[in-house]
Amino acid sequence: MKLNKNYIFIIYIFLLGCKPETLNLDTINFQAQDLLKSIKTSKVENQIGAWSLDSSKSPFLEGDKTSTHYYFRTPDEIKQLNFNNLPLDDIGAKLVTLDNKLIFASFSLEKENTFDVYNHLEQKLGAPQQTFNTIAYDKSNDEVLIILNNLTEKQGVKKIIDEYDDELITYPYQNTWIKNNIIYQYTLIRGKEAFSNKLVIITKEALTEKIIFGYHNSTNDPILGKYLK
């Protein structure tokens, strides 16, 4: 039986409407709860207060600011999220909202897209502040070949000679950008078959208000501290 073209088109539109909603984390300025309320998560926690340090440097919560913390742990939950339409790795993700705004996101992209994400961030945000790592320069080393095939000298890759006359290659393992009071920190994680990655997006407000544990003492962080001045 032949189907009418209009009928086929209606079926196609219907199937598109049945696709699960996905959230593009490349755009952080949105009304958070309006979108997240339709997203399935493993766990949602309301945190009351911001992090402070007592005289013994032990962190504790104080104050009445309420933030909402969303945890994505299963593959089906993580499939609801993407970054620049690229899929996230299934190791998990965390989002935090404050006053109906997304203020923090932490996740990894699939390994095969590690350098595509780096290039996208560079095109979107410009040249990053970089922290470099080194590895022995050996073209038979798979990790070295991955660096040489995916990053350029302009992006911070170069050969150096250390004090022992050993040849090394440097590469930007951690890259930080700030735009419109939003900080992006992208880490390249070495691997023999492929490099993995981690992307943290945090607003300046989240840092100054000390909402996120692990980022509650950023004034002493050599990278993030400069953005709080």
Is residue 42 one of the residues assigned to a domain?
yes
Query: Mind listing the pLDDT tens digit of every residue in the chain (229 residues)?
Result: 555 555 444 443 444 444 456 889 997 665 676 778 788 999 999 999 999 877 677 888 999 999 999 999 999 999 999 999 999 999 999 999 999 889 999 999 999 999 999 999 999 999 999 999 999 999 899 999 999 999 999 999 999 999 999 999 999 999 999 998 899 999 999 998 999 999 999 999 999 999 999 998 887 888 888 877 7
Domain that holds residue 64: 21-124+177-228
Number of domains in the chain: 1
* The predicted structure's pLDDT at residue 18: 42
d(CA 2, CA 145): 53
pLDDT of 9 = 44
pTM of the model: 0.86
pLDDT of residue 112: 97
Does 11 map to a domain?
no
Identify the CA nearest to 46 among candidates 93, 92, 97: 97
115 domain residue, yes or no? yes
Does residue 39 belong to any structural domain of this protein?
Answer: yes
The candidate with the shortest Cα–Cα distance to 72, out of 94, 55, 46, is 94
From the CB of residue 63, how many other CB atoms can be counted at a distance below 10 Å? 12
Q: What is the DSSP string of the chain?
A: -PPPHHHHHHHHHHHHHHSPP-EETT---SBHHHHHTTS--SEEEEEEEEEEE-TT--EEEEEEEEEEEEEE-SHHHHTTEEETTEEBPTT-EEEEEETTEEEEEEE-B-GGGHHHHHHHHHHHH-SPEEEEEEEE--TTSHHHHHHHHH--GGGT-EEEE-TTS-EEEEEEEEEEEEETTEEEEEEEE--SS--EEEEEEEEHHHHHTT-STTSTTGGG-TTGGGGG-
